[in-house]
Chain A
Amino acid sequence: MALHQLYHPTVARLTYRGLLGRRRAAVLFALPALLLAISIAIRALSGADDQTAANVLGGFALATMVPLIGVIAGTGAIGPEIDDGSVVYLLSKPVKRHVIVVTKLIVAIGVAVAFSAVPTLIAGFVLNGNSQQIAVAYAVAAAVASVAYSAIFLFLGTVTRHAVIVGLVYALVWESLFGSLIPGARTLSVQQWALALAQRIAGDGAINAQVSLTLGLTLLAVATVAGTYFAARKLRTLTLAGEE
């Protein structure tokens, strides 16, 4: 099926304006601003250093900022409409439910990439001028992770009112904490899958991922497709109970 058959510009417009018009959109601006501020400060204070660049981009950008922005973009693309019931105006139209989901996913990915991958790239150039391709590697990792996070959290947004909480727990506890403590958790970590790609792009030994490139890319694809599929399935039978 061609992409234009899966994309509805009106759904996209409503999603985009909803995402950037709500209060939680402030996080979308605050996190990249923080990353850039940190990068500028580090560069100014201690000069360009590849290891420092990798630490900042890996430790803050990819480990914390990218999943958080993924949570905001992914859940925010659909969750609030389901919560407050306004999704009824989308559902009561002769538009296929999977078109609604794919369109919202595309918007979520666009927003997530714009607010996480792009700042990551800029921060990388600020930190070490893309030495050893570290800036590009982390930016690409941030982009592919954004795709998977958007799909996963979009699905979460269709199944639970507490998608943001669940997403935050995943992003902060699973990815940041368990990921560094429990070896098994690393295999099931979007961050590690994306790192596998970053490892390939960057200079030898600059970045270390816990999973192989093949496994990483496969799992990224599986998570994205599964998230999209189940979100569409959920929306197809979404029940709007009355208030009584």
Chain B
Amino acid sequence: MTELTRFEEEEFTGSFNAETLLRILAQVKPHWLWVLGFLLTISIVSGLDSYFTFLSKRIIDEGIGTGSFTLLRKIILQYGLLIIFQAVNVFGFIYLAGVLGERVRYDLRQKLFNHIQNLSLSYFNETPVGWIMSRVTSDTERVAQLVTWGFLDITWGVINILTAAYFMFSINWRLASIVFTIIPILIVIAALFKKRIIGEYRKVRKINSQITGAYNENITGVRVAKAFSREQQNMEEFQELTDEMYHAGYRAAWLSALFLPAVLLVSSLALGSVIWYGGLQVEVGLMTVGGIQAFISYITFMIWPVQDLARVYAEMQRSIASAERIFSLLDSEPDIQDALQAQEPSSLEGDIVFENVDFYYQEDDPVLKGFNLSVEEGETIALVGPTGGGKTTIVNLLARFFEPRRGKILIGGIDYTQISMHALQSRIGMVLQTPHLFSGTIEENIHYGKLNATPAEIRQAASLAGADHFISALEHGYQTQVGEGGNLLSVGQKQLISLARALLRKPDIFIMDEATSSVDTLTESHIQKGMENLIEGRTSFVIAHRLSTIKKADRIMFIRQGSIAEMGSHQELIKMKGEYYRLYTQQFRKELAKTFDTPDLMGMGVE
């Protein structure tokens, strides 16, 4: 359970960490001119906003008050020019902050992605894909928001309040002092509200994902629900969820609806005092009507920066939590790294030897213990045995996805940790049990095996793999889109393509994990042929499930509980009448049974 909780989406803790903040700033350092640019333009915009109010006051006092048309026109002209200047700055801050935000998003994602490529397989075994995904997508989003719109909002709010304060104090400092007593009250109210509201919305999101889950089950399990006439009860259960959703959503919404009026009421107290006290000051000539008007405008519009600051503060906390998660991913180091002076041989020749190899994923749960194996160059080894016995671990160690915890693996007499990972892995060809393709065309997928391959080479590899047959029959041939994860193709077809991909590579060592899922007989025979072509002349390790594959191997190893229980040729092992014999006869019956449903045996056309 600890594993699970570790990756649960952490709620933000809200502690301001100066170190994290500095690291965030370091991310935007290369673009400091942009930051400077948007901070400058937003400051101008914010200051001008305050000044506009002051200009409105001057229209009243100096224009209407004096009755001078010239003065009025002068103020209006100044106002008009400033509106245009303001527009230029508005363009500036939106463009600068917006594009910078995109840039920071791009940078962070690329940095994370590049880092992820270097992490070892053990990291991916321990870390759910969804966890990594949300680091790269939503967390980068939040950090980018913080360094652009977050900083921008803060700057705008602070400058706005400061300049408004400046004008208010210069109009009438006594009145301004009264007004400014309400600002702390407003900030406290805003902060309290935002905290509650954010809490409610978090609840809403949680219930919402439960509702999505319920729909998902309702739709995918609809046949069972129908077969068991469960409609009524399902509905009742679902109603509980929507009721909860209603209450949480309603609460969040009315709290939000209450927020503005509450702030409004508090600020209207300030307005009341302005009218009251200001009125008296006007009567004794200490203040003008325009001045009061200006005060009223300042107070009315001060609500925005105040409530904005509360929102930005809450978002900042979340962004910092996001940044911490991003940095934790960036700080994780790959378990397996190249030795300082790793060799870069152009091919992997010679025997492969496992020498006293120990391996475990978790320390208290050993998978291999003192494992020894020597394989001659060109030999084909079939690995058979129960799930969890260690077959996959052996090939993962060979491909250096993991390294032995103790003992050595030698290739051609050299400890393979002295060979660079790139050199090793680019000479190994691998076909996995659940073949993974990338979205794109069939050609692009085969291409993956050798990036500079010509179309002719690709075709050749495909036909050697026995894949050319079905590819040519497709409407778009090699240009057929395989869909996300290759999902538009059948498992058998995917396997054929991954065979072609491996063949194109002309590897020195070939590793295959045979698919267990059923494939139609025709494809099956194509796969067999492709595999034989790959095994030919190469040191090969096959985690085998099919009898034909097993029988063709030079040596068969029955792996159980991390060690070789039985080893030898098919005939030898059959004679032993041990575990292999049992497995073999069982598998034989199973394959036999399957032939009943094969369309060609039934004499019926393939659908």
Do A and B form a real pair?
Answer: no
**Which residues on A are within 8 Å of B, measured CB to CB?**
none
